[in-house]
Structure 1
């Protein structure tokens, strides 16, 4: 974003900011990576001396300059993302060039950061991990018990899915929500379209499959 680098990604791609930092000024030049200047121990010592009082949440990543004259990049890789911050230090002088705290990030980055930390069980300590564990266990119990209940109550020779209505009612809000989610999450939307096409074009044309799925019957409304 325009308010600093992001440490999350969509679609399995590496965050652009980190990729640019690794490639330096030559990022995107037909895949060519130029050699970075050698690391000077004296600069590393000055960077550490400048960063230590900042109390950046560990583990702390130090990235040497990608090209001559560039500052050192300092970033926190803490599991609790709201604790993360980034800084830039001039290795030649030890001067703090800039610092970006979590609160300085774009609001979208902050929301995603909180969400990832909660999802990974790092946002509020052991309670977060216990809650995540209980949620996973309850979902497992729900899936298993649902399968058992279906197996015991299913009609003979049928799937036992709810019968479609003669005149299904689709509220505008429901349709808008499904379309919106399908656009926002293309894989979800594509899956819905594929299932709809397969049902209409293939499954309804096979008598045994149509009967087992209950596609040829309708419940009275």
Structure 2
């Protein structure tokens, strides 16, 4: 049996203590190798040189801030999976990051074992929203309250896939859980995203959380 693949992670944070702490936790896993960056420039340079699987970016970096770093990394020809690191939980900065292509966000005080699991989930194509997040906090505007109505246009299979997606499962794991081929999962995820009128699986997961399709942590 082949060994589990080793993934590479870049941690971007200007605070040395936080950066080294998260790096130490992740580096303790035999499945993860870690690099660190302290600024927008070093982050982009590191990503270009090492092509990591996952990049964790502090949302509250000093100028340029985490959103600017996110935009720069997402503009790369083959952008990595990016998740935001935050101390403050969900706020408008994190929501903006999610809507700009981040695959999730993590609290800096996340339990070490859970942090490793979250990073592996991200590398596998899953979505991670910090534990303890009340679904109602995901609303950005009154107009989005009506978005849940679009769920009625989804088939039972699409709802099942959306539930699994919102729990952070990768396409491969969704296929195993729902008894579907990988190609069918990809087609179904694309159909769900199109029907809901969102731009990514993260935004689809947010719609599911708003509608109560996934239980609170």
Determine which structure has greater relative contact order: mean sequence separation of CA pairs < 8 Å that are 6+ residues apart, divided by chain length: 2
TM-score (norm 2): 0.20
Higher gyration radius (CA): 1
| TM norm structure 1 | 0.20
Structure that is richer in strand per residue: 2
